[in-house]
Amino acid sequence: MDFTYKYTDGQQRFRGEVQSWLKANLPHEVQDSSGQPVLDQTSWGVCAALREKLGAKGWLASQEPMERVGKGLDPADATVLFEELDARGLGWLLEETAGALRAIARCDAQGDRESWANAIANGRIGCWRSQIDSIDDLDPGDWGIQVTRDADDRILDGEGIFQGRDPAPGYLWTLAVHDPEGDPEQAFSAFLIPPNLDGISIHPVRRMSPDPAHRICFDQVRVPPHCLLGQEKDGWDLAQSTFPIPFATAYTSVQDQPLDDLLDYARTTTVQGVSIAAEPVRQQLLMEAYINRGIQRLFRMRDTWMRSTGTALTYHAAQTRLWEQRSALRLSEITREVLGVYALLDHRDPRAPNNGNFELQQRLALTNSSASGSDSKIIARALGLASQEPERVGSSAG
């Protein structure tokens, strides 16, 4: 039985078009990048210029309808575009754009919102968004940003952690809670806010993940009505539909660059003239990682088939995410066992193999594994295995 993903002739022609365009337009600084490049001010300027070129091409919002702000690519060609960018460490350009555009698309595309969508799709600005580890576990009582109403305006108070690679955000996408004791599905509102409003302050946050993080404080920030996305109480629903799964996991094809790099390193690195991949223990570890990737591909193929046939996904997407998170964590362990201490050298050490991307994978796997608990809960509930949750205080006995 052949489980290999088969590209159509049309996909292969489009791949050639994408590769030719990238060869002509990709800056030299990122021509050979893999993984997620470290963005200092110089490299960010390069990525920002590339983002605008992708926006002008229509590829930054590749699946958005042409009558709106995008290129209108079908999912098959969008897969190819993502793969080619992701292979160069630039898939995040599509991921960051997609979430913001989905949020705006859920609302009336007129006035300010239409200009927001155009600016984001054209690559002129980027958004920072509230860090949400799991929509399923959102607790109004623990959310750090509150909102109250004052006539037509809203007043935001509190603070939260925001994610975004732009050195300065074009907009802030956030949830704010208006009923800390309420049902999560009714307790949140969603906003897209200019960062220059009075009362907003931004502070850097240091953490193990390479993704930039920022603590943003709201001190009696008056937000005009057009910044509200949807209606009041739509925040939970908007967050659930806007950031449902990582962009990459929606595709069948699996481009696992860290594993490919590890296999290449093991084949080409020798000890006393013998490839380290030939050593029996290392060989078994590498085979385990390779099998894990094959299972990951099967999960994605199943999910893709279900989406294409209109079959509802219940636990399936969560199961795929959970497998990928655990496989990435196991790959980081295997990398350490195969490479030894060299797996822990980052890009700043000239002795680091593969420009330090093995060390980068270690940190990414560890930080991305934090959401696995919520995926386990989703699977358990869908299969009827979840424990009975206690009633909220004050709810009716029914």
Query: In this structure, are 253 and 366 located in the same domain?
Result: yes
Query: In this structure, are 257 and 360 located in the same domain?
Result: yes
Residue 173: strand, helix, or coil:
strand
Report yes or no on 395 lying in a domain.
Answer: no
Reference 138, options 99, 174, 185, 96; nearest CA is 185
Reference 257, options 280, 289, 225, 287; nearest CA is 289
Report yes or no on 22 lying in a domain.
Answer: yes
Given a cut of 60, whether residue 277 has pLDDT beyond it is yes
Query: In this structure, are 180 and 279 located in the same domain?
Result: no
Q: What distance in Å separates the CA atoms of residue 329 and residue 368, rounded to the nearest whole number? A: 9
Angle CA 389–395–397, to nearest 5: 85
Per-residue pLDDT at 121: 83
Report yes or no on 32 lying in a domain.
Answer: yes
Report yes or no on 387 lying in a domain.
Answer: no
Above pLDDT 90, what percent of the chain?
A: 26
> How many distinct structural domains can be found in the chain?
3
Domain boundary among the residues 195, 224, 240 is at 240
Residue 165: strand, helix, or coil:
coil
Per-residue pLDDT at 3: 56
Reference 169, options 212, 226, 199, 206; nearest CA is 212
Report yes or no on 18 lying in a domain.
Answer: yes
Domain containing 256 — which CATH number? Answer: 1.20.140.10
Q: Which 3-state string (H, E, C) describes 18-74? A: HHHHHHHHCCHHHCCCCCCCCCCHHHHHHHHHHHHHHHHHCCCCCCCCCCCCCCCCC
Query: In this structure, are 318 and 368 located in the same domain?
Result: yes
Query: In this structure, are 153 and 92 located in the same domain?
Result: no
Mean per-residue pLDDT, 382-390: 65
Given a cut of 80, whether residue 81 has pLDDT beyond it is yes
Domain boundary among the residues 218, 240, 262 is at 240
Q: How confident is the model at residue 276 (pLDDT cuts 50, 70, 90)?
A: very high
Least-confidence region, from 12-16, 61-65, 214-218: 61-65
Task: Give yes or no for a contact between 293 and 396, defined as CB atoms under 8 angstroms apart.
Answer: no
Residue 222: strand, helix, or coil:
strand
Count of CB atoms situated within 10 Å of the CB of 190: 26
Stated pTM of the model: 0.69
Q: What distance in Å separates the CA atoms of residue 354 and residue 271, rounded to the nearest whole number? A: 18
| Highest mean pLDDT (candidates 90-99, 248-257, 275-284) | 275-284
Q: What is the largest CA-CA distance in the chain?
A: 77
In this predicted model, what pLDDT tens digit does every residue of 130-143 receive, in sequence order? 888 666 667 888 89
Instruction: Kindly report the length of the chain.
Output: 398
Which of residues 380 and 194 earns the better pLDDT score?
A: 194
Query: In this structure, are 208 and 261 located in the same domain?
Result: no
Query: In this structure, are 83 and 147 located in the same domain?
Result: no
Task: Give yes or no for a contact between 125 and 170, defined as CB atoms under 8 angstroms apart.
Answer: yes
Report yes or no on 71 lying in a domain.
Answer: yes
Per-residue pLDDT at 395: 41
Least-confidence region, from 26-30, 124-128, 380-384: 26-30
List all residues 6 or more positions away from 281 whose beta carbon is below 8 Å from its beta carbon.
337
Query: In this structure, are 151 and 103 located in the same domain?
Result: no
Per-residue pLDDT at 90: 80
Given a cut of 50, whether residue 95 has pLDDT beyond it is yes
* Exposed e or buried b per residue across 333-370, where buried means at least 16 C-beta atoms within 10 angstroms of its C-beta: ebbbebbeebbebbbeeeebbbbbbbbbbbbbbeebee
Domain boundary among the residues 240, 273, 304 is at 240
Query: In this structure, are 253 and 367 located in the same domain?
Result: yes
Q: How confident is the model at residue 390 (pLDDT cuts 50, 70, 90)?
A: very low
Q: Which helix (H) or strand (E) holds 147?
A: strand 145-150
Domain containing 235 — which CATH number? Answer: 2.40.110.10
Mean per-residue pLDDT, 234-244: 74
Given a cut of 80, whether residue 123 has pLDDT beyond it is yes
In this predicted model, what pLDDT tens digit does every residue of 177-221 receive, in sequence order? 998 888 888 899 999 899 999 999 999 887 666 667 899 999 999
Report yes or no on 398 lying in a domain.
Answer: no
**What is the extent of the structural domain holding 207?**
128-240
Q: Which helix (H) or strand (E) holds 365?
A: helix 357-368
Domain containing 68 — which CATH number? Answer: 1.10.540.10
Query: In this structure, are 219 and 304 located in the same domain?
Result: no
Q: What is the DSSP string of 94-129?
A: HHHHHHHHHHHHTS---THHHHHHHHHHTTS--EEE
Report yes or no on 4 lying in a domain.
Answer: no
Structure tokens at 201: 């302050």
For residue 313, give the DSSP letter: P
Structure tokens at 374: 């919520």
Query: In this structure, are 19 and 54 located in the same domain?
Result: yes
Which of residues 395 and 359 earns the better pLDDT score?
A: 359
Query: In this structure, are 162 and 47 located in the same domain?
Result: no
Mean pLDDT of the chain: 80
